[in-house]
Amino acid sequence: MDLLARREHSYNELLRKLVLRGATNDAADIELGKLQDEGLLSDARFCEAYVYARSQRGIGPMRLREELRQKGVASTLVEQVLSEPHWDWPALGAQAFAKRFPEGVAVELKERARQQRFMQYRGFDWHELDIDAAG
């Protein structure tokens, strides 16, 4: 319960932490099931909170998809959250781009490739960025 008081966790993330702290797999599974039944543990709520927090730090949908997969969140849930209409990924990508490259898109090929690698690392598709929205 102490782990849930700090932040949202995915089911698999909590299961892993409890097993590391000495709980058996079966006992941890039973307790986590109870928490889910009470509404205290929700992968959907975790996924939404995680995407919001990371997107505010300039992380895009491709990287978020991979991070959430590693945390054990179901891919259907991840796709559902990432495709919600209130996420404006091109504009969020443009903001991340403008913060890192205030001078705009480079003319020189080598520098533009560096910019593209940076945005790809952040989880954004270069071709979907709304660079003009970066202002």
pLDDT 10s digits, 37-86: 998 999 999 999 999 999 999 999 999 999 999 999 999 999 999 999 99
Count other C-beta atoms under 10 Å from residue 46's C-beta.
22
State how far the alpha carbon of 110 is from the alpha carbons of 98, 122, 127, in Å: 18, 19, 17
Specify the amino acid at residue 49.
A
pTM metric for this prediction: 0.85
42 CB burial (10 A radius; 0-12, 13-18, 19+) = middle
The model's confidence at residue 120, banded by pLDDT at 50, 70 and 90, is very high
66: CB partners within 8 A, 6+ apart? 123
